[in-house]
Amino acid sequence: NAGVTQTPKFQVLKTGQSMTLQCAQDMNHEYMSWYRQDPGMGLRLIHYSVGAGITDQGEVPNGYNVSRSTTEDFPLRLLSAAPSQTSVYFCASSYPTGPGTYEQYFGPGTRLTVT
């Protein structure tokens, strides 16, 4: 199993440009999430999905869109990049291990810089 894969590893955008961060998992997990990591703030949840066709907002959703057409893929779209979106982005997939408890697997991250 490849686990959770993300592309690209690095990206530089100019303000106003759009792009899609790709995320795929081969573990047949129903749950997938996007987090951003900023210095001193840990990881914050952007959007998540509980299955194909179902998405919802997390803590910091503004400026990002997601869709989930298949179980495997969960792309994150930046429609008009802003410098405040400079961050490291992590995708995760998870499965339930008990009542209300999930084990999450993280991808290697995408480092995005917006100038």
Partner 1 sequence: GDSVTQMEGPVTLSEEAFLTINCTYTATGYPSLFWYVQYPGEGLQLLLKATKADDKGSNKGFEATYRKETTSFHLEKGSVQVSDSAVYFCALSDRAAGNKLTFGGGTRVLVKP
Residues at the site binding partner 1, with contacts judged by CB under 8 A: 4, 31, 33, 35, 40-45, 48, 50, 58, 90, 92, 94, 96, 98-104, 106-109
- Could you give the CA distance from residue 86 to residue 95 in angstroms, rounded to a whole number? 29
Distances (CA, A) of 33 to 12, 15, 115: 22, 25, 26
Between residues 1 and 98, which has the closer beta carbon with respect to partner 1?
A: 98
Shortest distance in whole angstroms from residue 115 CB to partner 1: 23
Shortest distance in whole angstroms from residue 97 CB to partner 1: 9
Shortest distance in whole angstroms from residue 40 CB to partner 1: 5
Between residues 13 and 91, which has the closer beta carbon with respect to partner 1?
A: 91
Between residues 19 and 45, which has the closer beta carbon with respect to partner 1?
A: 45
Q: Give the list of residues 6+ apart from residue 50 with CB closer than 8 angstroms, or none.
A: 30, 31, 56
- Could you give the CA distance from residue 39 to residue 18 in angstroms, rounded to a whole number? 24
Q: What is the longest distance spanned by two Cα atoms in the chain? A: 44
